[in-house]
Amino acid sequence: MNRYIRRASVFCLLLLVALLLNAARVQVFEAGHYDDDSANRRAALTRYSQPRGDILVDGEPVTGSRDSGGRLRYERTYAEGPLYAPVTGYASQVYGTSLLENAEDDVLSGTDPRLAAVPLWTDISREQQPGGDVVSTVVAAVQQAAFEGLGGKKGAVAAVQPRTGKILALVSTPSYDPNDLAGTEQSVADTWNRLNRSAGQPMINRALKQTYPPGSTFKVVTAAAALDHRKVTDIDAATDAPDPYTLPGTSTRLTNEAGGCANASLRHAFEVSCNTVFARLGVDVGLDGMVGTAEKFGFNDADLKIPSTAARSVFDTEMDDAQVALSAIGQYDTTATPLQMAMVAAAVANGGEVKTPYLVDKVTDAHGGTVAATRHKTLHRAMSRGTARRLQEMMTGVVTRGTGTGAAIDGATVGGKTGTAQHGVGNKGTPYAWFVSWAKKDGAADPAVAVAVVVEDAAADRADISGGGSAAPIARAVMRAALR
């Protein structure tokens, strides 16, 4: 009988081995798979078990945490929700996170391994790190000026520091209050549904995630291409551009709203925004040249992160000459985010170099110790120094005697470019009013700010919508705040 008892004991041993192998399978080999399952609520429970780190503007937190006492315990609060919503985004128990709350989630929720004092030990002890803070580059006064400038209008403002790429303001209106999305109550779902159904689309960050046809503001890019490709060598020499201009290979005649565009010099054409001159210059430079310059400014780049991903601004790469002509004046398929157009203005102000825009100055641990700091870096050189200098002259001219006089500021050099972008089927939609500009305090070494403003004000009369009328005063307010 002993032999059989031994064999039976081997059977029991096999059961044990099966259990142990299966335990290793579940707890080690497939654990990651189970941990990441959408129905596994552990990650959420851990995440909300401690206060979230804060987002700082001008050294002061614009966010906070509230102990709800519930299972998903700590809820997000926002000091000035609508004002900073395009910067912070929301952090919701139900709907996840967006923008900075999303991009810096690891730091804010404390899971970023860089926060651990002793990295390996924390892995073993599973000690939860308190959430770190995110110090943003936004300047409260600039943000405030942009938000108030847009007022009740639908639109967006992006402001950057040309020399570094720091984003000083990122505003989108109408906005929303992310306070209403934190928590687990029914009101959160109601708010979410209301915001998503709202005609004003308040949850879209227009400055970063929405593209618009840039209209005449794109002439900055076309001018840079023409100068760099030596299609124009003297900005004061007459071009032999006809008015009206018949688009190559078609019978479509392009006209101007301004006068004196036939054979106008580049400077004059820029100041009064002659479509005919720039359309023809675009064709002269050619598709490849235009694409090359546009891409150096940051167009066609789907990977720009600030750290949230910016929408891709487009300059089409496959076009015939007529389409190139229209694209050169910011129409046809050409679209840009307000941030992209702020980068265009910043490149001119910064002597031709485009800096990578960024929104996070540094991240710190809960005690304020710096974990990582962003160093500014050059994205591309968009044009030569000489071209940049000449463009600065022309943009200054727009503000002193051209279409953008509404943006002039005492005690500072201001350069700008207006734009009125047509859109919609047959260009029947209410046009978008654009203004891109930069400002340098008299006597200062570097320009303080570059701004792009877009107003898509459906309520206004079509004639009123011009970059100079609607958008330039907003840009002026933003620049004044930045110059202070």
Partner 1 sequence: MTAPTADAPPPGLRMPGRRGTELALLAGAVLISVCGYIDVGLARQNAVPGDAASYGAGLAALALLGHLAVRFRAPYADPLLLPIAILLNGLGLLLIFRLDLETPVDRAAPTQLVWSALGVGLFAAVVLLLRDHRTLQRYAYVSVAAGLVLMVVPIFFPAVNGAKIWIRVAGFSFQPGEFAKILITVFFAAYLAANRNALAHTGKRMWKLQFPTGRVLGPVVAVWLVSVGVLVLERDLGTSLLFFGVFVVLLYVATGRTGWIAVGLLLAAAGAAAVGVLEPHVHSRVADWLHPFASITAGRGASQLAQSLFAFAAGGLLGTGLGEGHSALIGFAMKSDFILATYGEELGLTGLTALFLLYALLVARGYRAGLALRDPFGRLLAVGLASLLAVQVFVIAGGVMGLIPLTGMAMPFLAQGGSSVVTNWVIVALLIRVSDSARRPHPDAAEPGVVAAAGTDGARSGASAPPYEEDDMPYGYGYGGGEVEDNHHNHGNHDERGNHGNHGNHGNHDEYDHHDDQDSHR
Judged by the rule CB under 8 A, the positions of this chain that interact with partner 1 are 1-9, 11-13, 15-16, 18-20, 22-24, 26-28, 30-35, 37-42, 45-46, 124, 126
Whether residue 338 is preceded by a cis peptide bond, meaning omega within 30 degrees of 0, is no
CA angle (226, 384, 222) in 5-degree steps: 25
Look-up: residue for tokens 């023809």?
280
- Minimum distance from residue 8 beta carbon to partner 1 (Å): 5
- Which is nearer to partner 1, 28 or 463 (by Cβ)? 28
- Minimum distance from residue 402 beta carbon to partner 1 (Å): 60
- Which is nearer to partner 1, 36 or 303 (by Cβ)? 36
- Which is nearer to partner 1, 12 or 463 (by Cβ)? 12
- Minimum distance from residue 2 beta carbon to partner 1 (Å): 4
- Which is nearer to partner 1, 126 or 428 (by Cβ)? 126
For strand 133-136 and strand 55-57, is the pairing parallel, antiparallel, or unpaired? parallel
Helix H segments across 216-320? 219-228, 266-272, 275-297
- Minimum distance from residue 70 beta carbon to partner 1 (Å): 14
- The token duo for 364 is 């710190």
- Minimum distance from residue 132 beta carbon to partner 1 (Å): 22
- Which is nearer to partner 1, 18 or 372 (by Cβ)? 18
For residue 174, what are the CA distances in angstroms to 162, 455, 456?
A: 27, 11, 11
- The token duo for 318 is 């496959």
Q: Catalytic amino acids? A: 216
At residue 370, φ and ψ (nearest 5 deg) are -70, 130
Query: Residue 332 in contact with residue 316, Cβ under 8 Å?
Result: yes
Of residues 94, 112, 42, the one with CA closest to residue 365: 112
Q: Other C-beta atoms within 10 Å of 79: how many? A: 16
Q: How far is Cα of residue 133 from the mean position of the Cα atoms in its chain?
A: 21
- The token duo for 95 is 């709907």
- Minimum distance from residue 74 beta carbon to partner 1 (Å): 16
- Which is nearer to partner 1, 128 or 356 (by Cβ)? 128
- Which is nearer to partner 1, 46 or 102 (by Cβ)? 46
Of residues 209, 197, 198, the one with CA closest to residue 172: 209
- Cβ neighbours of residue 96 under 8 Å, at least 6 residues apart? 102
**Angle in degrees, 0-180, between the axes of helices 140-150 and 81-88, rounded to the nearest 10:** 110
Q: How far is Cα of residue 55 from the mean position of the Cα atoms in its chain?
A: 18
Q: Other C-beta atoms within 10 Å of 301: how many? A: 14
**Three-state SS for 312?**
coil
